[in-house]
A and B are shown apart, each in its own frame.
Chain A
Amino acid sequence: MSILLDIFTVVAVTAGAFFFLAGTVGLLRFPDPLTRLHALSKADNLGVGLIVLGLLPRAAGPIGALKLIAVWLLVQAAGATVSQLIARAARRGMSQP
């Protein structure tokens, strides 16, 4: 049972790290602010989400697991809002010559 949980953790955290890597590559390579934001928000949501998912079996009790999930939800709320604000600022900047 514990080896299964270990494999689950390794797979999920690796997948999360992959999304962070992909998001960073996208941030560096994509041509304009909106596509770069798209890459960044994927890294935030899926990367943090998968890492939290992978760490859940290792949390110290249900309270620790709830804290991890709360971290993920807060990162999502902040990331989504900041993406909105940056996107609006970028669109305003683009519409002006």
Chain B
Amino acid sequence: MTIDFALDCGIALLVLAVAGWTIVARASFAAVVGFVSFGLLVTLAWVRLAAIDVALTEAAIGSGLTGALLLGAAARLRSNETAKQAEVPGAALRIASALLAATVAATLAAAVLLLPDPAPTLAPAAAANSGATGLGNPVTNVLIAFRAMDTMLEKVVLVLALVGVWSLAADRCWGGMPSPPRGADSGDATAFLAQLLTPLGIVVGIYILWEGADHPGGAFQGGTILAAMWLLVMMAGLAKAPAISRRSLRLVLIAGPAVFLVVGLAGLWFGAAFLAYPVDHAKAVILVIEFVMTLTIAVTLALLLAGPPDREASP
């Protein structure tokens, strides 16, 4: 038994153990902590599988962003959680939900186990055409060129999610500012970290975006880091969240999908198909899309976490 094999077995066992613990944890705060640790362990598993792009995304989105969103939800639910835990659902409801969960798990397991071997893959086709875009990272190639439609719709979904969060605002606060979560006396330590880390984080975020062309990285991972830096500054009280009615903010929010759409329509007009990039300038066009997309992703994710506006717009 080699050390690598032992390491893989250890990670797999830990992932299963933490997943089980997350499910049986009674308090929602504990469950969220379990979920975040689960995400970080799954990140290690992806690194072991040499899928660095997926690992970065899992750490940034799956564990970090989702974890922070769930923490916020758990904090909001805390006041009536004990009352909820006291009431036990009826036996029929519990058996029905257990059956439903078991059926879903069994179906998923069957679908994975019954995959033909080797599993159907488009990887050889993607690798064969990788020269078409001038990018060295096959994952970025697939995301931004071969499956560009999916990526574009993903950005539209992000904007829709933000609209959903904003629609929770009270009428009098509409157009006002969200107040990101802030400890009552989080004061000096957070402010120090925000001042120290933010310049570094901005450089790292842009670096990951830029490296995404040829190495693991890209718009989503870079944008998440930028969003985290902005949130850190807002949570430390060094900057206020923007009023959601601000015109420039809304332009940035729709810039990513808009640039994507314009490029797509231009492809339809001048080229072969929707989202067909000009052959000679494919890389330049892709870079423009990725830069604008990163900005949109960063602002959208930060505002998603900042929550619905709960302060009235200043006159």
> A residues bordering B, Cβ < 8 Å?
74, 77-78, 80-81, 84-85, 88-89, 92
Contacts and interface: CB of A to CB of B under 8 A. Distances in A.
A31 B197 CA distance: 33
Contacts of B184: 92
Contact of B196 (A77, A85, A88, A89): A77
Interface of A (DSSP majority class): helix
Contacts of B190: 81, 85
A88 B185 contact: yes
A85 B183 contact: yes
Contacts of A78: 193, 197
Contact residue range for chain B? Answer: 10 to 19
A89 B117 CA distance: 53
Contact of A89 (B183, B193, B197): B183
Interface in B184-233: 184-186, 188-190, 192-193, 196-197, 200
A81 B193 contact: yes
A78 B196 CA distance: 10
A13 B236 CA distance: 36
A77 B200 CA distance: 12
B164 to A, nearest CB: 30
A85 B186 contact: yes
A88 B193 contact: no
21 contacts: A74-B200, A77-B193, A77-B196, A77-B197, A78-B193, A78-B197, A80-B189, A81-B189, A81-B190, A81-B192, A81-B193, A84-B188, A84-B189, A85-B186, A85-B189, A85-B190, A88-B183, A88-B185, A88-B186, A89-B183, A92-B184
Given A78-B197, A81-B192, A85-B190, 20 more contacts: A74-B197, A77-B193, A77-B196, A77-B197, A80-B189, A81-B189, A81-B190, A81-B193, A84-B188, A84-B189, A85-B183, A85-B186, A85-B189, A88-B183, A88-B185, A88-B186, A88-B189, A89-B183, A92-B184, A92-B185
